[in-house]
Amino acid sequence: MACLVNAMHGQKTTDMLKVFFLVTLIPPLYLCLRLVCKRAWPLWTRLAGCAFLLVISQVYSLNSAIFRNLSGPDMPDWLLLLQIWLFTSMLLFFLVLLVRDVWRAAWHLLCAAWRRLRAFRRPASVPGRRAFLRQGLSVGMTLCAPTVCLGTAAAGLARGTAVPQLQHTEVFFPHLPPGLDGFRIAQLTDVHIGPLTSIDWVRQVVARTNAARPDLICLTGDLTDGRWDYQVARGGSRREAVREFSSFRAQHGVFACTGNHEYYSDYAGWMALYEDVGIRMLHNAAVVLQHHDALLALAGMDDAMAYGLKPVQTKASLLPAMPGHAQHALRIVLDHRPIRAAEHAAAGADLQLSGHTHGGQCLGMDRIVARANKGFVRGWYAVSGMPLYVSNGVGLWSGFPVRLGIPAEIALITLRLGTGPALRQM
């Protein structure tokens, strides 16, 4: 769902928004159809239920219209959490019902075909027993399924808005300069400071990052949502929350590339604020860092969303011209989306760090997210021999802040000389 909204920009935004809002009508319309068929219930109850489902399904339309911004609306956190809890519960219940209805339809078709083929006659006692079982299943679906869906949605929201843990991982290079062996990079991506994050939440993220004592901190896009003067959870503005980034500590500093959400609201204002708090933005540019007697060249790529605002800088011309190329510096690319990894590998990059996918957020949904990102969703990949790490992300877009089975993370990547575990080949 987040990937659909992330794609909306430019001339096609209005049409894509219409499609998105129409798609969100499918679950409530299906549930309404099933509800209307419940003739044992009073008509007014069924109509009220249908109206409630339709209102829940249009959370994005309502928030965009009332609270001025879809990517990060300026609204109370409790109200948004309530909306998303009900919306997610509705989606889960729709999926449960859909699976059950498809299974029942397939079972009835198989039974009908079997009876026709074998001229099967059931004993007189069977229909009564099956009717009893069907009634029991119907009652169980009516009472238990909504409760389970509400509970699952609440658990997903709790995981989606929790402070992320450190995820320690290593990457091996056979020809790594010895001076970089043990070099630690903290990668934070998709922080999405917005209506559901608080200043204290950001402060804890910064503290956990600093506690790992990284040599370098890399931020790979989607740091904020909405305007800088919009509120965050439990008081304060998003500008105040971002100022907590000034407490990041790393020997070689803090560098970042843009993500698509950087371009949705007040791009110039956010860029100035990032620089003001000590984040060095790399706009299709590179720097060389010296660690002991070794060099590390770091390049940051603007997200493709920027290309309506500025000329496209090709990787083929940027990477070979990176400073330190002649001195055999290790070349690391920061690119918010993982989909350009093959281009970067062909242009000479040694390592790429990306995000954007949120790791897929939920088991099952992660397969859809992978298909939308050339097979990349989370963890390590080898792309033409170049290691690519796709982080699960620190936070989530406030429009769907749900995680089920896929936790958030602050990635701590240690560079190692030698050979290690084989990566997934892409």
pLDDT digits (tens, 9 = 90+) for 85-119: 999 999 999 998 888 888 888 887 887 777 777 66
Residue 133 has pLDDT above 70, yes or no: no
When divided into structural domains, the chain yields a total of 2
Instruction: Identify whether residues 299 and 193 lie together within a single domain.
Output: yes
Q: Which of 159, 179, 197 is the last residue of a domain?
A: 159
Instruction: Identify whether residues 178 and 244 lie together within a single domain.
Output: yes
Instruction: Identify whether residues 106 and 227 lie together within a single domain.
Output: no
Instruction: Identify whether residues 155 and 185 lie together within a single domain.
Output: no
Q: Which of 159, 191, 211 is the last residue of a domain?
A: 159
Residue 14, pLDDT score: 54
Which residues does 24 contact at the CB level (< 8 Å), separation at least 6? Answer: 57, 58, 60
Instruction: Identify whether residues 183 and 63 lie together within a single domain.
Output: no
Instruction: Report the Cα 418 to chain-centroid distance in Å.
Output: 32
Instruction: Identify whether residues 150 and 182 lie together within a single domain.
Output: no
Report the candidate in 138, 24, 149 with the shortest Cα–Cα distance to residue 92: 149
Q: What is the CATH number of the domain that holds 286?
A: 3.60.21.10
Residue 172 has pLDDT above 90, yes or no: yes
Instruction: Identify whether residues 354 and 216 lie together within a single domain.
Output: yes
Instruction: Identify whether residues 91 and 205 lie together within a single domain.
Output: no
Instruction: Identify whether residues 82 and 211 lie together within a single domain.
Output: no
Instruction: Identify whether residues 135 and 208 lie together within a single domain.
Output: no
Please calculate the CA angle 367-370-373 and round it to the nearest 5 degrees: 160
Instruction: Report the Cα 137 to chain-centroid distance in Å.
Output: 36
How far apart are the C-alpha atoms of 224 and 243, rounded to whole Å? 12
Domain that holds residue 58: 2-159
Q: Which of 124, 159, 194 is the last residue of a domain?
A: 159
Kindly report the pTM of this predicted structure.
0.87
The string of pLDDT tens digits covering residues 9-22 is 444 445 555 666 77
How far apart are the C-alpha atoms of 423 and 419, rounded to whole Å? 11
Residue 3 has pLDDT above 80, yes or no: no
Instruction: Identify whether residues 351 and 416 lie together within a single domain.
Output: yes
Instruction: Identify whether residues 243 and 385 lie together within a single domain.
Output: yes
